[in-house]
Every structure is written in structure tokens, then in C-alpha cells.
């Protein structure tokens, strides 16, 4: 295992298509096909939540197949042991629903990209002080773009916010205008059992919303 799991530029991919696909509930048997559909539609940052079936197996398969052109990683990472498990897959992304300084620091120590969740200014600045430079506003739809717009005034330069939770293609431009660097998208993209055609249609809606 190399010292760092960060061969791909996360920020470059985020600029190309500001969407992180959240594949909650996916299985290792289907993850490559789903990722291939997403990649074909421009989505190149993919997260498998750890409360999915055999998540580290899915993440390892993703990393082995797409690690040279996508940023892959885990969501719902809530402790240091889970950070190590994700590191051992070769993936670089560690997304959490909360602000846990130990998780943030462990990910940074391993050369990974922590994306801690926050819903208040206090949590946001605690994450920044711990070293995080990408934060997840969660649950975004319940908080709203106006909150992010106000918070962006005081967030330091170089800190990027991903709006996650209830974000949709038809609200994408509102979030980007409010200061979001991207969206974390779950059920509006992937749900267990979704067909390839429906997944491609959903992904194309986000692509169109971004370009339009």
C-alpha cells in the first residue's frame, strides 16, 4: 500500500461535473456497471456508504476499475477504524455525516480526503480547524441555499462545501449560486434496482442542469 491514496485531483473532477454520486445500498456485484453508467454521463466522484452491503468490497472493486480516472471512497464513515478499512481499499474519499475531529485527522494522516458533515457554523469551523478543506452541508434541503449563502461570507478561502441531502437537478443552480462547490446526490441518482437506462437519464439531468 502506498503512503497516500490520492492520485486523482478531486477538485479538477468537481469542476468538470460538481456531483458526488452516493450509491447507498449498492452491492459489489452491480457496482461496476452502475459506475460505468455514471462515468459515461460525466460523473466521476463516487461514494459507497458503509451501511451498504459489503461496502469495502464494492469500494475496492471501484478503485481497482476506476481509480485511475475517478475519485472513489466511502460515506457514513464515523470512526477511525472505518477510515483504516477504507484506506486499505486504496480509495481516497472519506465522507461523514458528522464532524468528528479524530476521523478528519486520521484521514489526513493517511493521505486521504476527509469530507465531514456539518449543519451549523460551529461544526463547520471545528472541521476546518481539524484540517478539513471540503465540508458536507447536511441535510442540505432542510437547511436551504440561503443558509449557505450567508455562511459563505465567513468561510475561509480554499474551503469547499458540498450540499448533500435532498439535492436535485432542478435545484442545482440555486446551490451553486449560493456558494456550493458541488452536490452530493443519493436517491435522485441511484436507488437499488434502478435500471441502467433510468440511471443514465437521471445522470443526464444533472449534466444538463450544470451546463444549462
Question: How long is the chain?
Answer: 212
Q: Is 106 a catalytic residue?
A: no
Cα–Cα distance between 130 and 103 in angstroms, integer? 9
The single residue of 44, 47, 60, 106 carrying the catalytic annotation is 47
> Per the residue annotation, which of 3, 123, 136, 149 is the catalytic one?
136
Inter-residue contact 41 to 203 (CB < 8 Å): yes
Q: How far apart are CA 132 and CA 101, in angstroms?
A: 9
Count other C-beta atoms under 10 Å from residue 208's C-beta: 11
Q: 185 and 206 in contact (C-beta within 8 Å)?
A: yes
CB neighbours of residue 33 within 10 Å: 11
Coil, strand or helix at 162:
strand
Task: Give catalytic status of residue 47 as yes or no.
Answer: yes
Q: Beta strands 19-22 and 45-49: pairing type?
A: parallel
**Residue 104: how many other CB atoms lie within 10 Å:** 23
Which residues are bridge partners to 93 per DSSP?
A: 73, 113
Catalytic amino acids?
Answer: 47, 136
Amino acid at each position: 500500500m502506498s503512503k497516500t491514496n490520492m492520485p486523482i485531483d478531486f477538485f479538477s473532477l468537481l469542476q468538470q461535473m460538481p456531483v458526488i454520486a452516493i450509491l447507498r445500498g449498492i452491492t459489489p456485484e452491480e457496482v461496476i456497471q452502475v459506475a460505468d453508467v455514471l462515468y459515461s454521463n460525466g460523473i466521476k466522484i463516487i461514494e459507497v456508504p458503509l451501511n451498504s452491503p459489503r461496502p469495502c468490497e464494492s469500494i475496492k472493486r471501484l478503485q481497482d476499475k476506476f481509480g485511475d480516472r475517478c475519485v472513489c471512497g466511502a460515506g457514513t464513515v464515523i470512526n477511525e477504524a472505518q477510515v483504516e478499512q477504507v484506506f486499505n481499499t486504496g480509495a481516497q474519499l472519506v465522507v461523514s455525516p458528522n464532524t468528528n475531529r479524530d476521523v478528519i485527522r486520521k484521514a489526513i494522516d493517511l493521505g486521504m480526503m476527509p469530507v465531514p458533515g456539518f449543519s451549523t457554523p460551529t461544526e463547520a469551523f471545528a472541521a476546518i480547524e481539524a484540517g478539513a478543506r471540503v465540508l458536507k452541508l447536511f441535510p442540505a434541503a432542510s437547511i436551504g441555499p440561503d443558509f449557505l449563502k450567508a455562511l459563505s461570507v465567513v468561510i475561509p478561502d480554499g474551503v469547499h462545501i458540498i450540499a448533500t441531502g435532498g439535492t436535485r437537478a432542478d435545484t442545482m443552480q440555486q446551490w451553486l449560486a449560493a456558494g456550493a462547490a458541488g452536490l452530493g446526490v443519493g436517491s435522485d441518482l441511484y436507488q437499488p434496482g434502478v435500471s441502467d437506462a433510468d440511471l443514465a437519464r437521471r445522470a443526464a439531468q444533472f449534466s444538463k442542469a450544470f451546463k444549462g
